[in-house]
Structure 1
Amino acid sequence: MLNRIILIGRLTRDPELRYTPAGVAVTQFTLAVDRNFTGQNGEREADFIPIVTWRQLAETCANYLRKGRLTAVEGRVQVRHYENNEGKRVYVTEVIADNVRFLESASHQNRSNSGSNLPEEPTYSGSGRGNSNNRDPFSGEGKPIDISDDDLPF
């Protein structure tokens, strides 16, 4: 069985960093991913996908990602549920990311948001598991990725 997802989109808001009672960092943000077709009104539509990162990756995302930043996410889809205050079961679908790549440099983002003074981001990816058998699909030594709509499978 396989549960892997790769998304490329823009953040809809700044990441939200929190810590569990055990002190583990967790970050949540939403990625807007364009669809490869237009709607009835002729405009492009997008899906807004909730992303969750953990530990060092969560802290890195919180430090270097900002609203509007083009980002690639690799992870797995998770569906969880809980009961709300009214006793109804609520289902939540989200992507648990284990690899996040910043597809625009911080200096590019600074030019478009002149008030932002983000530090230059490190080259970080992965979940820290140290498994060298997994090939990084986003590796490119920091070079821009040239992707046309025809190259995307969705």
Structure 2
Amino acid sequence: MASVNKVILVGHLGKDPEVRHLEGGNSVANFTMATNEYYKDKQGTRVERTEWHNIAAWRNLAELAEKYLRKGHQVYVEGRIRTRQYQDKDNQTRYITEIIAEEITMLSSGRAAGAEAQPVTAAAAEEPTTFRQEPELNQLPF
């Protein structure tokens, strides 16, 4: 049986996307995203738990993230989980788990009324705007 690596998140951006332009013309946008869950503890008090996710968007999706996404925006992100390792400045091996975005849908322009973020367009304020990453030729199933 084949395996599946699929992630769906709905949350708020924790910071503006940071975009790097790499050799060969590729771009990558990195940002954090918060998702919240709520539950009641033993005393019946409502508790909020926030989980932070590292998101990476590549190529045209990175360019669109840089242009349209801002801290506080609520977004839907669909993608896959990837864990990679790197060497830090002290030559220690570190690991990072991130979501490689394949689709991003803008759900709102800001976290709350009066937020600093402004709607991208009139259409974005009325209905979600979706951006998709087209697969590379080596990722196609034939």
Q: TM-score, normalised by structure 2?
A: 0.76
Unaligned stretches of 5+ residues in structure 1: 131-154
Pairing 1:96-111 to 2, within 5 Å after superposition: 96-104=100-108, 106=109
Alignment match of 1:127 (pick from 111, 133, 139): 133
In the TM superposition, structure 1's runs of 4+ consecutive aligned residues that sit over 6 Å from their partners are none
Separation of aligned partners in 2, 1:111 and 1:36: 22
Separation of aligned partners in 1, 2:41 and 2:27: 38
Cα deviation per residue 1:115-144 (whole Å; 9 max; x = unaligned)?
A: 5555415944221239xxxxxxxxxxxxxx
Unaligned stretches of 5+ residues in structure 2: 137-142
In the other structure, the counterpart of 1:10 is: 12
Cα deviation per residue 1:85-127 (whole Å; 9 max; x = unaligned)?
A: 32321001100000000011x4x779523x5555415944221
Aligned pair count reads 127
Alignment match of 2:72 (pick from 68, 72, 96): 68
Q: In structure 2, do the counterparts of structure 1 residues 109 and 9 end up closer, same or farther at CA, with 3 Å as the change threshold?
A: closer
Provide the aligned C-alpha RMSD in A: 2.6
Checking the alignment, whether the CA contact within 8 Å between 1:110 and 1:118 is kept in structure 2 is no
The answer to whether residue 91 in structure 2 is matched with residue 95 in structure 1 is: no
Give the letter for the 2:14 counterpart: T
The answer to whether residue 25 in structure 2 is matched with residue 19 in structure 1 is: no
Identity %, equivalent residues: 31
Q: In structure 2, do the counterparts of structure 1 residues 32 and 2 end up closer, same or farther at CA, with 3 Å as the change threshold?
A: same
In the other structure, the counterpart of 2:87 is: 83
In the other structure, the counterpart of 1:143 is: none
Checking the alignment, whether the CA contact within 8 Å between 2:106 and 2:130 is kept in structure 1 is no
In the other structure, the counterpart of 1:137 is: none
Q: TM-score, normalised by structure 1?
A: 0.71
In the other structure, the counterpart of 2:31 is: 29
